[in-house]
Amino acid sequence: MTASLSLLGSQQLVHRAQQRLAAQRQVRLAQLVCSSSARPKPQRCCKAAAAAAAAAAGSPGEPPLVEADTIIEPDGTVTAQPQNAEDRKDLWRRAIKLPMYSVGWAPILVSAAAAYVQTGAFNPVRTLLLCVAATAIIAWLNLSNDVFDGVTGVDKTKPESMVNMLGGNARLVFLLATAFLAAGGGLLVWLLQGAGNPLAPRMLGAAVAMGYVYQGPPFRWSYLGLGEPLCFLAFGPLATCAFYFAQVPPAQAVFTQMTVALSGLVGITTTVILFCAHFHQVEGDYAHGKMSPLVRMGTHKGTEILKLAVGFTHILTLVLGLMGVLPFACWTSAMVAYGMAGEMVKVAETNVKNPVGLQRLKFLATRWHIAFSSMLVLGLLLSTLM
């Protein structure tokens, strides 16, 4: 009896292996049907070929290997695509990453409030133009990162990558990124001509350069786990202080305790966004040699680091308020954002082993960053009324 069961089990395994082999052959057939004879690039699978591959997937109840309206890479990798207009619209929203542009606006708005508190100077047109320039620079960062990640393969199965959204046309995405860099960089150069401190253009130039070495060849420092330090320096001390110099009278364009403290807080909250963006893609990053801090420490320890970062940020704001470096109103206002930080940490704790659940983390981190920076601005402005 035992031998019969063993023989039956072996026959079932052989049968399933044959089904899998047939399915793989159908995937290759679908690839040949859908791909062009030109240079290899991702192709959208036609419904007939996808249906044929799905039919060969195996026994009833087993998920198909290929579905209609998928993307088949030149190496046979299959990526599911949105099936309706609403899904595609949501995918475009995720690809554009509109909330992420707050990382460029926060240094400008926080430094503008600090300039007003310390010098009484405020030029709304200049501040608006700086925001426009920063928006173009962030667009360059987002698009160029998609291109460089596409080259290394990290974004191969990431449907919201702009390269994948445009059918694998990395050249077009790179040209768009370069245009945004030229426009934003040119506007910044023009706006910084009248800055009283000659360090301002150099600091912003260094910040932009860090944006390139973060992901661009031959550096790719993010693959060495240096993305977070680069992010802190670029958006914190360098950008925030430089934008402060650009928004005060030339004679008063000097470092102050308040400006340096604010730049540190902005840098921390911005870096938390990047840190949280790696939680759900640890396996993919590791597979492609991207040794981010989360790959090195794992999501368990990463969650503990996240809790420490959030607590440290709010405690530091309190200490700076008590010391008189920042108006105490900055701390009381910033506590409004503490609830958002708590929700972010809770999601990390409850989804440590669930990459799908961790996908929300970077958006929650962005929301906390926006709220915290906005409350810093509010606290600075309220201090002028006390």
pLDDT value at 54 more than 70? no
Residues 74 and 119 placed together within one structural domain of the fold: no
Q: What is the mean pLDDT of residues 15-33?
A: 50
Task: Specify the higher pLDDT residue, 90 or 245.
Answer: 245
- pLDDT-based confidence at residue 161 (cuts at 50, 70, 90): confident
Whether 144 is covered by a domain: the verdict is yes
Counting the structural domains of the chain, the total is 2
Task: Give one word for 121, left, alpha or beta, with left for phi > 0 and alpha for psi -120 to 50.
Answer: beta
Whether 10 is covered by a domain: the verdict is no
Q: What is the mean pLDDT of residues 282-288?
A: 87
Q: What is the mean pLDDT of residues 256-277?
A: 96
* pLDDT tens readout for residues 165-222: 777 788 898 999 999 999 999 999 999 987 888 999 999 999 999 999 998 989 999 9
Task: Specify the higher pLDDT residue, 45 or 284.
Answer: 284
* Closest-CA residue to 313 (of 270, 353, 281, 351): 270
Residues 56 and 156 placed together within one structural domain of the fold: no
Torsion of CA 132, 139, 241, 192, to 10 degrees: -50
Torsion of CA 335, 341, 342, 346, to 10 degrees: 180
pLDDT of residue 21: 47
* pLDDT tens readout for residues 298-332: 999 999 999 999 999 999 999 999 999 999 999 99
Whether 252 is covered by a domain: the verdict is yes
Residues 114 and 26 placed together within one structural domain of the fold: no
Q: Which of 55, 80, 105 is at the close of a domain? A: 80
Average pLDDT, the chain: 81
- Other Cβ atoms less than 10 A from the Cβ of 238: the count is 25
* pLDDT tens readout for residues 339-355: 999 999 999 999 999 99
Residues 140 and 234 placed together within one structural domain of the fold: yes
pLDDT value at 95 more than 90? no
Q: Which of 54, 80, 106 is at the close of a domain? A: 80
Residues 154 and 253 placed together within one structural domain of the fold: yes
pLDDT of residue 193: 87
Residues 231 and 336 placed together within one structural domain of the fold: yes
Q: Which domain holds residue 106?
A: 97-383
Percent over 90 (pLDDT), the chain: 58
Residues 270 and 138 placed together within one structural domain of the fold: yes
pLDDT of residue 15: 52
Q: Of the given ranges (117-126, 155-164, 280-289), which has the lowest mean pLDDT?
A: 155-164
Whether 15 is covered by a domain: the verdict is no
- pLDDT-based confidence at residue 62 (cuts at 50, 70, 90): very low
Residues 289 and 251 placed together within one structural domain of the fold: yes
Q: Say which residues have a Cβ less than 8 Å from residue 265's Cβ, sequence separation at least 6.
A: 313, 316, 317, 372, 376
User: Cα(232)–Cα(174) distance, rounded to whole angstroms?
Assistant: 25
Residues 189 and 335 placed together within one structural domain of the fold: yes
Pair of tokens at residue 48: 């007939």
pLDDT of residue 23: 52
Whether 85 is covered by a domain: the verdict is no
* pLDDT tens readout for residues 360-383: 999 999 999 999 999 999 999 999
Residues 50 and 148 placed together within one structural domain of the fold: no
Residues 258 and 182 placed together within one structural domain of the fold: yes
pLDDT of residue 6: 45
Whether 70 is covered by a domain: the verdict is yes
Q: Of the given ranges (9-13, 17-21, 286-290), which has the lowest mean pLDDT?
A: 9-13
Residues 359 and 259 placed together within one structural domain of the fold: yes
Whether 149 is covered by a domain: the verdict is yes
CATH number at residue 173: 1.10.600
Whether 241 is covered by a domain: the verdict is yes
